[in-house]
Amino acid sequence: MPQKTKETPMMEQYLEYKKQYPDAFLLYRVGDFYEMFYDDAVKGSQILELTLTSRNKKADEGIPMCGVPHHAIEGYIDTLVDKGYKVAVCDQLENPADAQGKMVKRGVTRVVTPGTIMDKSSQAKDNNYITAITSNRNGFGLAYADLSTGEVKVTSVDNELDLTNELQNLDTKETVVYGKFPQKYLDRLRKIGILISKIDELEENYSFDFSNITSENEVSTVKLLISYLIKTQMRSLDHLKAAQSYETSSYLLMDHSAQSNLELFKNIRTNKKSGTLLWLLDETKTAMGSRLLKQWLARPLISVDKLKQRQQLVQVFLDNYFQRSSFQDYLTKVYDLERLAGRVAYGTVNGRDLIQLKTSLEQVPEIKSILLDIGDDNLSAYVEQIDEVADIRDLIDKAIVEEPPISVTDGGLIKEGYNDQLDQYLDASKNGKQWLATLKAKEQESTGINNLKIGYNKVFGYYIEVSRGNIDKVPEDRYTRKQTLVNAERYITPELKEKENLILEAEEKSKSLEYHLFDQIRSKVKKQIRRIQALANILSRLDVLQSFAVVSEDYHYVAPEFVSGHQLEIKDGRHPVVEKVLSNNSYIPNDVFFDQETNILLITGPNMSGKSTYMRQLALIVIMAQIGCFVPATSAKLPIFDHIFTRIGAADDLISGDSTFMVEMREANDALKHATENSLIIFDEIGRGTATYDGMALAQAIIEYIDKNVKAMTMFSTHYHELTELESQLPGVKNVHVDASEENGDLVFLHKVLPGPADKSYGIHVAKLAGLPDEVLTSASKILSGLEGNSVHTTLSESIHEPAAQIQAQPSVTPVEDETQLSLFPEEKPVKKESKKENQVIKELTSQDLMSVTPIEAINLLYKWQKKLK
């Protein structure tokens, strides 16, 4: 930071502002540039790839400096904010010419932060939530707002885990804290990419609707959020809606890992929307609809009544194809009303925005009449509530031209006939131009100069231009020379100057009157923001419901029936996303059935047969049902679930430094502790992250625990075939397997789920499909046969209770020489005497615990061995 030398007045002013915004890049307007100094300049020049210069080049210790042109500032702000930084914009508040040698008045006019940035077109379909968190004796408060749509919500949670989950589910980029908050916890949030903004003082003087919140803790959490918004936004927050309190338990709960494991919003491999449930379901026509769909998916309902209402409207859209299509046509012409309302409140709305608002409102009467025409009582009752906001539509129609300019200060915005005074000015300026045209003709005639022109420039206004060849014809007594160009001379006349005053005055006055009128219109629209928001709310709901109808029709989904009690029956269920991706109806449908007695479906089957798909399919069907959508099945009877827990795939939590197995156990623990008999648990190969016996023991103990204590409907896939014996020991466990068959030594996946356990695991067949070298496969088959021949397995329940020493003392398996056992790969060559390298590979291979390796690990091992042998 700065040295203690005497600063110039400007740098003193800069440092004063910088002191107020120490955690933001301060962009400080100097002339046509926004400059950064000191550390901001050093860091900013790197991030924005700007040239770093020095303010005081002569001095040894020049002040580092870099700048961006004022007209390009928005792009630079976006880049900084995208990277998680804050930016404070310090503007010149007066024209430098008026400062009369004194320091130009400046002030910070806005602070842009990751949680409050608005209007990024790339994010039209996403909410950007700024959050605030508080801690209290009973737990934590969490409030969030989307500044561009005006939504404000607040909730309370018991513990840090739930708080983090909620923050992650909201995908917040920034959270506000006040006073003391456990530092360790804040560090964790920073690690998952959330910017922490601290404030030291709460704002007092503002009006905001707290009437829907009763809890004091929640009120203070919202107050914290609003205080931060006032501090950073420095403009009207009138569009913020009344804060709503919500309880996380009034929705189907899914923690962040469940949301990402089930690929609701982001594809795990690409991190993109493609291949996700959102991608499949999003046939919305408006950005508001798309955002609402995302919110519904993040918070499925648990109220059967509400779900039935949604289902019923989906059915109406399904039954009325033609009305649905024309409704869609009109919807596509509706702009983002929520965000337009936000811009109106912020005062950043321009003429084009108002025309977008008008165009959107113009669609509403048509939309209403199409929907009422369907004649469905429920839909009609809903549609009747639509306020067309016709007064605003008519006002804009009367006042604003159809194609207004972007700028609101340069005129050209207001329609003729809207204001008498303005019409007069416009007339004067128009007449003036007509007068100029007549003057030109007159002068051409009187001087005989045919190419005489009349032009205008900012320095000396209107002039007559005569080309050099005609100068001798200029009437010197009437014309006064003003400017000499290479090929022409420019003149003025008293008559021209007199008229010029009138024309320019009219233009000037009309511009300022137009701005004044525009401002009045903007204020009138601002007063009706609540009505525009209410309209946006209804249209976006209808948009999502029509989207459900489109998807349900395209993929032949059915309305699920909600049943009470511990039972579930899905006929011909499909994984919606895999089905969409697979071409020509090649998806094999499968039933799922839980009766009163069944708690756990134990799923076995070869790798790649479809176990994970089958389990995910159930979770996605449940989620689709609980957002009111139809589901991929020929029939579905489902209970209402309260919570979905998943343990799927190998997700290392690199941030917290936990290993795969640790994450696996943490997620299992979460489910065992919090699941109820109304929950759904999806456990994909629990226990595979550790040694076979440990893994198997844990898996069995978990199954027993769920069956005895939790009683949640559970799908449990495993490669531990020994676990299938549990069916005979535990009343709630039922075996199913995904079928596969062997044809001429090749594995054929049937993807059909059948009752009972799988007979074989076919791991080596899958390795063959992956293209591993014959030599490795042959070797693996030999070893497998040896293992099977020397089987050391006692029954599982016996083995897991053996002392560790005894387990380790079991005989290690040596390669088997008996070729008669090799049936898998008949064309194999005679076994030659092993070299040192081969012996090493065989040794590693035989000591490998095949039951505990994942398919990926197996492929890696095989790759390593092949490399060695080569």
Ligand X SMILES: Nc1ncnc2c1ncn2[C@@H]1O[C@H](COP(=O)(O)OP(=O)(O)OP(=O)(O)O)[C@@H](O)[C@H]1O
Q: How far is the CB of 745 from ligand X (least distance, A)?
A: 20
Distance CA 838, CA 834 (A): 5
Interface positions, 114-133, toward ligand X (CB under 6 A): none
Residue that the structure tokens 């269920």 belong to: 573
Q: Contact, 747 vs 765, CB < 8 A?
A: yes
Among positions 351, 404, 605, 786, the unique one binding ligand X when judged by CB under 6 A:
605
Give the start-end residues of each E strand in 418-550. 453-457, 461-467, 480-484, 488-492
Among positions 148, 227, 315, 609, the unique one binding ligand X when judged by CB under 6 A:
609
Cα–Cα distances (Å) from 178 to 84, 159, 383, 819, 860, in that order, read 20, 18, 44, 74, 49
Q: Answer yes or no: is 607 a known binding residue.
A: yes
Among positions 106, 125, 291, 611, the unique one binding ligand X when judged by CB under 6 A:
611
Q: Contact, 264 vs 297, CB < 8 A?
A: yes
Q: How far is the CB of 230 from ligand X (least distance, A)?
A: 51
Q: How far is the CB of 603 from ligand X (least distance, A)?
A: 8
Residue whose C-alpha is closest to residue 140's, from 155, 119, 123: 155
Distance CA 762, CA 742 (A): 9
Q: Kindly indicate which of the ranges 309-317, 402-410, 610-618, 784-792 contains the residues binding ligand X, using the contact rule CB under 6 A.
A: 610-618
- C-alpha angle 12-16-19 in degrees, rounded to nearest 5: 135
- Please tell me whether residue 855 binds ligand X under the rule CB under 6 A: yes
Q: Contact, 374 vs 312, CB < 8 A?
A: no
Cα–Cα distances (Å) from 616 to 261, 575, 592, 719, in that order, read 9, 7, 12, 17
> CB-wise, 463 or 614, nearer to ligand X?
614
Q: Contact, 532 vs 266, CB < 8 A?
A: no
Q: How far is the CB of 578 from ligand X (least distance, A)?
A: 5
Among positions 404, 573, 576, 610, the unique one binding ligand X when judged by CB under 6 A:
610
Cα–Cα distances (Å) from 829 to 272, 639, 867, in that order, read 47, 57, 20
Strands 733-743, 600-604: parallel, antiparallel or unpaired by DSSP? parallel
Distance CA 81, CA 10 (A): 26
Q: How far is the CB of 854 from ligand X (least distance, A)?
A: 8
Q: Kindly indicate which of the ranges 84-92, 176-184, 604-612, 811-819 contains the residues binding ligand X, using the contact rule CB under 6 A.
A: 604-612
Residue whose C-alpha is closest to residue 771's, from 859, 855, 845: 859
Distance CA 590, CA 135 (A): 47
> CB-wise, 317 or 762, nearer to ligand X?
762
Q: Answer yes or no: is 605 a known binding residue.
A: yes
Distance CA 422, CA 632 (A): 62
Q: Contact, 632 vs 574, CB < 8 A?
A: yes
Residue nearest to ligand X (CB): 610
Q: Contact, 215 vs 223, CB < 8 A?
A: no
Q: Contact, 246 vs 155, CB < 8 A?
A: yes
- Please tell me whether residue 251 binds ligand X under the rule CB under 6 A: no
Q: How far is the CB of 587 from ligand X (least distance, A)?
A: 4
> CB-wise, 466 or 619, nearer to ligand X?
619
Q: Contact, 242 vs 252, CB < 8 A?
A: no
Binding characters for ligand X, 557-586, by CB under 6 A (x = yes): ---------------------x---x---x
- Please tell me whether residue 647 binds ligand X under the rule CB under 6 A: no
What is the token pair recorded at 774?
Answer: 């014959």
Q: How far is the CB of 707 from ligand X (least distance, A)?
A: 23
Residues in the interface with ligand X (CB under 6 A) total: 16
Among positions 599, 613, 626, 785, the unique one binding ligand X when judged by CB under 6 A:
613
Q: Answer yes or no: is 114 a known binding residue.
A: no
> CB-wise, 381 or 856, nearer to ligand X?
856
- Please tell me whether residue 607 binds ligand X under the rule CB under 6 A: yes
Give the amino acid at 644.
Answer: I
Q: How far is the CB of 690 from ligand X (least distance, A)?
A: 17
Among positions 66, 298, 588, 622, the unique one binding ligand X when judged by CB under 6 A:
588
Q: How far is the CB of 647 from ligand X (least distance, A)?
A: 13
> CB-wise, 114 or 605, nearer to ligand X?
605
> CB-wise, 615 or 816, nearer to ligand X?
615
- Please tell me whether residue 351 binds ligand X under the rule CB under 6 A: no
Q: Kindly indicate which of the ranges 11-19, 25-33, 171-179, 605-613 contains the residues binding ligand X, using the contact rule CB under 6 A.
A: 605-613
Q: How far is the CB of 737 from ligand X (least distance, A)?
A: 10
Distance CA 391, CA 398 (A): 10
Q: How far is the CB of 404 from ligand X (least distance, A)?
A: 52
> CB-wise, 46 or 860, nearer to ligand X?
860
Binding characters for ligand X, 723-762, by CB under 6 A (x = yes): ----------------------------x-----------
Q: Kindly indicate which of the ranges 368-376, 502-510, 548-556, 609-617 contains the residues binding ligand X, using the contact rule CB under 6 A.
A: 609-617
Q: Kindly indicate which of the ranges 264-272, 319-327, 356-364, 601-609 contains the residues binding ligand X, using the contact rule CB under 6 A.
A: 601-609
> CB-wise, 582 or 809, nearer to ligand X?
582
Residue that the structure tokens 């207001």 belong to: 414
Give the amino acid at 28.
Answer: Y
Burial class (CB in 10 A: 0-12, 13-18, 19+), 267: middle
Burial class (CB in 10 A: 0-12, 13-18, 19+), 829: exposed
Strands 33-37, 24-30: parallel, antiparallel or unpaired by DSSP? antiparallel
Cα of 322 vs its chain's centroid, Å: 32
- Please tell me whether residue 608 binds ligand X under the rule CB under 6 A: yes
> CB-wise, 404 or 757, nearer to ligand X?
757
Alpha helix ranges (H) inside 320-400? 321-331, 337-346, 351-374, 377-384, 390-399
**First vs last Cα of the chain: how many Å apart?**
60
Cα–Cα distances (Å) from 62 to 22, 52, 53, 58, 59, in that order, read 21, 11, 9, 7, 6
Q: How far is the CB of 323 from ligand X (least distance, A)?
A: 35
Q: How far is the CB of 610 from ligand X (least distance, A)?
A: 3
Among positions 260, 612, 692, 779, the unique one binding ligand X when judged by CB under 6 A:
612
Interface positions, 21-50, toward ligand X (CB under 6 A): none
Burial class (CB in 10 A: 0-12, 13-18, 19+), 180: exposed
Burial class (CB in 10 A: 0-12, 13-18, 19+), 402: exposed
Q: Answer yes or no: is 606 a known binding residue.
A: yes
Q: Answer yes or no: is 227 a known binding residue.
A: no
Among positions 587, 594, 716, 865, the unique one binding ligand X when judged by CB under 6 A:
587
Helix (H) or strand (E) holding 141: strand 139-146
Q: How far is the CB of 528 from ligand X (least distance, A)?
A: 51
Quick count: other Cβ atoms within 10 Å of Cβ 296? 21
Interface positions, 358-387, toward ligand X (CB under 6 A): none
- Please tell me whether residue 315 binds ligand X under the rule CB under 6 A: no
Q: Answer yes or no: is 612 a known binding residue.
A: yes
Q: What distance separates the 2 farthest-apart alpha carbons in the chain? A: 124
Q: Answer yes or no: is 611 a known binding residue.
A: yes
Q: How far is the CB of 858 from ligand X (least distance, A)?
A: 10
| Binding site per annotation, positions | 605-612
| Binding site per annotation, positions for ATP | 605-612
Residues contributing to the site for ligand X (CB under 6 A): 578, 582, 586-588, 590, 605, 607-613, 751, 855
